[in-house]
Structures are given as C-alpha cells and as structure tokens.
Amino acid sequence: MRILQQKYWILALILLSTGCGGGSTDVTGTVSGKVTSEGKPVPVGTSVICQHIERSFPAVGKTAADGTFKLNMKETNKVIVGDYEVMLQSPVVTMDPAEAMRLSQAGKFPKQEETVPPKYRSFTTSGLKMTVKKGANTYDIDMKP
C-alpha cells in the first residue's frame, strides 16, 4: 500500500512540475499572414487553425476582408515557437436568432458554403506546415483547387 501511495505522489509531482503547458517561460513569436485561393483573398472569417506538432497546443486566426490574419494562442498574439500543422475552415454562417427560428419553422436551413477545398480542412491532408521562430513570423497560404 505504501509503495502505491508513493507512486501516486511521484505521478502528482511530475504532473505539477510539467503543468499543462504554455507556461510563461516558453519562447514565443507572433504570426501573421494572408490566405488566398488562386491568388484571390478568401472570404472574411475563414479560420486558420494550427497545432503544435510536439505539444499539441492550438493557435487560431480568422481572416479579414483582404485575407490577412493574425494567430492567437490563449487569447494573446504570442505563439509558442516550434513546428505546426495547419488546416483551414470555411466561415460559419451566422444570422439573427429570430431569422434562424423563422427558417427552421419553415423547414429551411441555411446552407454552409464550403469555400475551403476538402484537402485543406484536415491536418493530415492539407500538407501545410509552418515553423514559428522567436520574433515576427509571416506565413502566407495560397490554396489550389
């Protein structure tokens, strides 16, 4: 029983010392860029979703009207340095709740327009990777059909 308790304490100490990640001692950079589709800006609100390859931390950004974006991690623009997988997601259809209720009652539902080709909607198929270094980083994406 005593050995079992020691194992739990050791496990607890390891977990406490490593934490959940993303501590204040991590080296960070900033990431901005532009997403285009065959040279033209993608729709406003297209999501750029990045995942740290070794530590699985997410960083996310949304495009502006000109296709530009800035990545955020934990509600700040500081992104932990390292290698990331990247995927994109089409903007989500938003509408007034009353309009949504009216359409729902009529049996009509807004269609989600997929503006991002299927290839780019997954980390495993997008083929997009980036390395974040200390300081300012630029990462541009031009999607091909």
Alpha-carbon gap, residue 44 to 34, rounded angstroms: 12
Query: Would 44 be classed as within a structural domain?
Result: yes
Query: Would 60 be classed as within a structural domain?
Result: yes
Give the confidence band of 43 by pLDDT, cuts at 50, 70, 90.
very high
Neighbours of 66 (CB within 10 A): 12
Q: pTM (2 decimals)?
A: 0.74
Query: Would 104 be classed as within a structural domain?
Result: yes
pLDDT tens string 118-145: 999 999 999 999 999 999 999 999 999 8
Residue 28 pLDDT > 70: yes
Query: Would 112 be classed as within a structural domain?
Result: yes
* Range from 22-26, 48-52, 102-106, 140-144 carrying the lowest mean pLDDT: 22-26
| Residue 96 DSSP one-character state | -
- Under 8 Å between Cβ of 50 and 85: yes
Query: Would 5 be classed as within a structural domain?
Result: no
Alpha-carbon gap, residue 30 to 26, rounded angstroms: 13
pLDDT tens string 6-18: 334 343 333 333 3
Alpha-carbon gap, residue 64 to 35, rounded angstroms: 10
| Number of structural domains found in the chain | 1
| Residue 119 DSSP one-character state | G
What's the whole-number average pLDDT of the chain? 84
* Range from 64-78, 86-100, 127-141 carrying the lowest mean pLDDT: 86-100
Distance of CA 16 to the CA centre of its chain: 26
Alpha-carbon gap, residue 30 to 71, rounded angstroms: 7
Query: Would 10 be classed as within a structural domain?
Result: no
Query: For position 46, which CATH number holds?
Result: 2.60.40.10
Query: Would 29 be classed as within a structural domain?
Result: yes
Q: Domain range for residue 42?
A: 23-143
Residue 1 pLDDT > 50: no
Give the confidence band of 23 by pLDDT, cuts at 50, 70, 90.
low
Query: Would 11 be classed as within a structural domain?
Result: no
Give the confidence band of 24 by pLDDT, cuts at 50, 70, 90.
low
